[in-house]
Structure 1
Amino acid sequence: MADIHATARPRSSAARICTILGFVFAVIAVFFLPPFFGLAGLILGIVGAVLGDKPLGWYAAAASVVGAILGMVIGAALMSS
């Protein structure tokens, strides 16, 4: 009987590190330089997912986008007051 997971990439420690950094950058993006840290977190999340850390890599990428948007909204609200 063939293994159904033969085509799936095994999760590597590099994939997990990229995913964790993606989540960390998502949180940093809320408070500091949202476009920069949001984009960096997005890229790291995608890299983590491609290297095999699914679905957490995709969650990190999405969290980075949300963190960047939230950070920009908060920054705009603070600047306008």
Structure 2
Amino acid sequence: MSYPQQPYQPPQYPPNNSNTLSIVGIVLGSVAFIFCPPGFGIAGIICGVVANSKGERLAGTAIGVSIAGLVVGMVLGFLVFRSMYSG
């Protein structure tokens, strides 16, 4: 008696439950509001994008917070330096 061959199924891996890179991206984006927006904001965006490629759940939040930290931090920095050096 012969059984029909089953198609090959690749092994199923569990979903990635780690949000480590996403959390690092959120923290970096939050720090970018006050300290060195270009450095911390861009680093947060990179962490968010890498987290997104790994399928982390909070990756979109990390990218959003980092972009907001970058933009708002740059605007705040511009306003502070403008008010310091205007007569």
Category of TM-score, reference length = shorter chain: 0.7 to 0.9
Q: What's the offset of the Cα at 1:12?
A: 4.3
Gaps of at least 5 residues in structure 1 are 1-6
Larger radius of gyration: 2
Instruction: Quote the residue 2:64 is aligned against.
Output: 62
CA RMSD of aligned residues (A): 1.9
Q: Once the two structures are superposed, what CA deviation does each residue of 1:17-75 show, in whole Å capped at 9, x if it has no partner?
A: 10000000011000011011111000101111111113x20221121011110001001
Match of 2:21 in 1: 18
Task: Name the % identity.
Answer: 37
- Aligned residue for 1:52, secondary structure, equals coil
The 1-side partners of 2:26 and 2:78 are apart by 23
What CA distance in whole angstroms lies between the structure 2 residues aligned with 1:43 and 1:72? 18
Aligned counterpart in structure 2 of residue 45 of structure 1, from 30, 35, 48: 48
Contact preservation (8 Å) 1:45, 1:60: yes
Separation in 1, partners of 2:37, 2:20? 21
Superposition misfits of 4+ residues, deviation over 3 angstroms: none
